[in-house]
């Protein structure tokens, strides 16, 4: 079975055309269709029905092809005017003027202005040249006629066109804003996932690296009970600290963290905890040299540095030490911490043996990227340099020293 696809626009145009055709036939049958005896042309009385049919045929294209509809109806209007001028064709022309103003292109709109001006001028000239007794009255009625059937549809169509253009612009802007919002949400989710990955890496990887070093030291000397007890105590300490930090992270994600969360984080992640980072490495047999101002690691001056800089420095040191003992086990490590001109400078250096051709490059993974991000988040920088067999991590963090507050620690 064959089916011809018909759009909503075609149905609307067909309905409008049938309405004007029926109205025109009704006006003609009542005898009110002619426009004055003085304007009667040479055509027969039934001729307005023919021009009406021609105009309605082109009216079927009012919204889909407004340019063709305007040209066809204008031609029908001219033919009607020079034969038997009638009202129904003018009604069809007024609807086409409206449709062309609403659905037509910008170029057709300029043509529409010209058509309306030409038709109005021609009608005024024709009326002015008629031998009517009360010519000024007929001219006045003609002006009202043109305003009603040409000016009003044109103005209303332009208003509808402007409204539709504004509506389309608003919809486009809403779509763009929705896309931007979706993109921002996706970026926010990605940033949050990266932040969580960074936090988990620093908390878990650092603590597990320390536990691994301590366990390795205990296993190296199985008959040394004192060393084994020390290793077990250090393992427990690192495990408890890791659990504390994990609990703080879980509370933060669950929106249950309170205002003391940063302080709680600094209990296990601050430069005053440097000894806990270094002790298991030293006990495993690695030489660690520290050059650091005493007030930085003093428990009584924990608030002398901004919390963000203090925590970031601890994370960078922990990751650097974990990398050193993982990729260069047994090699001496040197830590230099300085504070001058409101700047905290960290430098961690350790020798790195030349890897075998088939081995993995040292210090490869998320650690360096995480340290770089942490330094950038607090407004600092991080550089990694390997020269003459030494691997050096240098972090420069803005850390203006604040008024020192003393507090007791357990």
Q: Is the pLDDT of residue 181 over 80?
A: yes
Pairing of strands 288-291, 333-340: parallel
Which pLDDT score is estimated for 315? 85
Find, among 64, 159, 67, the residue nearest to 167 by Cα: 159
Q: Which of 193-202, 263-272, 338-347 reaches the highest mean pLDDT?
A: 338-347
Rounded CA-CA distance 273/205 in Å is 17
- DSSP secondary structure letter of residue 259: T
Phi, psi of 5 (to 5 degrees): -70, 125
Q: What is the mean pLDDT of residues 208-224?
A: 73
Model confidence over 115-129: pLDDT tens digits? 999 998 988 887 777
Phi, psi of 343 (to 5 degrees): -130, 130
- Residues 6+ away with beta carbon under 8 Å from 87: 24, 27, 32, 33, 34, 35
Cα 359 to chain centroid distance, Å, stands at 43
Q: Is the pLDDT of residue 79 over 50?
A: yes
Cα 54 to chain centroid distance, Å, stands at 53
Model confidence over 293-332: pLDDT tens digits? 888 777 666 667 888 888 888 888 888 888 888 788 878 9
User: 69-73, 306-310, 391-395 — which is least confidently predicted?
Assistant: 306-310
User: 93-107, 140-154, 193-207, 385-399 — which is least confidently predicted?
Assistant: 193-207
Model confidence over 11-51: pLDDT tens digits? 888 999 999 999 999 988 888 777 765 444 556 778 888 99
User: 135-149, 155-169, 339-353 — which is least confidently predicted?
Assistant: 135-149
Q: Is residue 353 helix, strand or coil?
A: coil
In this predicted model, which residue has the larger pLDDT, 133 or 340? 340
Q: What is the mean pLDDT of residues 85-100?
A: 92
What architecture is domain 181-398? 2-Layer Sandwich (3.30)
Rounded to a whole number of angstroms, the distance between the first and last alpha carbons of the chain is 90
Which pLDDT score is estimated for 349? 92
Q: Is the pLDDT of residue 372 over 60?
A: yes
- Going from N- to C-terminal start, the domains of the chain cover 8-179, 181-398
- With beta carbons less than 8 A apart as the criterion, state whether 382 and 393 touch: yes
State percent of the chain over pLDDT 70.
80
The strand order across the sheet containing 288-291 reads: 288-291, 333-340, 343-351, 390-398, 381-387
Which pLDDT score is estimated for 89? 92
pTM over 0.75: no
């Amino acid at each position: 079975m064959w089916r011809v696809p018909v759009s909503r626009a075609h149905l609307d145009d067909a309905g409008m055309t049938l309405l004007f055709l029926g109205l025109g036939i009704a006006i003609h049958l009542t005898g009110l269709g002619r426009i004055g005896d003085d304007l009667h042309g040479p055509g027969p009385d039934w001729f307005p029905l023919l021009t009406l049919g021609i105009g309605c045929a082109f009216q079927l294209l009012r919204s889909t092809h407004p340019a063709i509809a305007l040209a066809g109806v204008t031609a029908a209007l001219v033919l009607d005017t020079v034969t038997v001028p009638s009202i129904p064709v003018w009604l069809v022309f007024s609807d086409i003027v409206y449709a062309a103003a609403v659905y037509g292109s910008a170029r057709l709109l300029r043509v529409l202005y010209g058509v309306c001006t030409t038709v109005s001028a021609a009608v005024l000239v024709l009326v002015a040249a008629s031998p009517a007794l009360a010519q000024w009255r007929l001219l006045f009625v003609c002006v009202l006629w043109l305003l009603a059937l040409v000016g009003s549809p044109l103005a209303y169509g332009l208003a509808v066109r402007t409204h539709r253009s504004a509506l389309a612009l608003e919809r486009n802007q809403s779509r763009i804003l929705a896309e931007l919002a979706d993109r921002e949400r996706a970026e926010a989710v990605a940033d949050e996932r990266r932040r969580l990955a960074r936090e988990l890496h620093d908390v878990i990887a650092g603590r597990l690296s320390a536990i691994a070093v301590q366990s390795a030291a205990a296993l190296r000397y199985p008959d040394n009970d004192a060393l084994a007890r020390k290793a077990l105590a250090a393992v427990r300490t690192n495990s408890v600290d890791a659990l504390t930090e994990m609990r703080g992270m879980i509370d933060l994600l669950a929106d249950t963290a309170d205002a003391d969360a940063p302080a709680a984080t600094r209990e296990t992640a601050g430069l005053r905890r440097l000894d806990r980072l270094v002790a298991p490495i030293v006990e495993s047999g690695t030489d660690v040299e520290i050059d650091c101002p005493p007030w930085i690691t003093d428990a009584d001056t924990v608030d002398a540095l901004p919390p963000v800089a203090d925590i970031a420095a601890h994370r960078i040191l922990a990751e650097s030490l974990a990398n050193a003992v993982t990729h260069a086990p047994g090699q001496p490590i040197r830590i230099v911490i300085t504070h001058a001109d409101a700047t905290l400078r960290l430098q961690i250096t350790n020798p790195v043996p030349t890897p075998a051709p088939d081995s993995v490059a040292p210090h490869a993974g998320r650690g360096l990227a995480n340290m770089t991000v942490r330094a950038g988040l607090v407004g600092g920088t991080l550089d990694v340099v390997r020269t003459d067999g030494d691997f050096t991590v240098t972090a420069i963090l803005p850390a203006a020293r604040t008024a020192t507050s003393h507090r007791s620690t357990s």
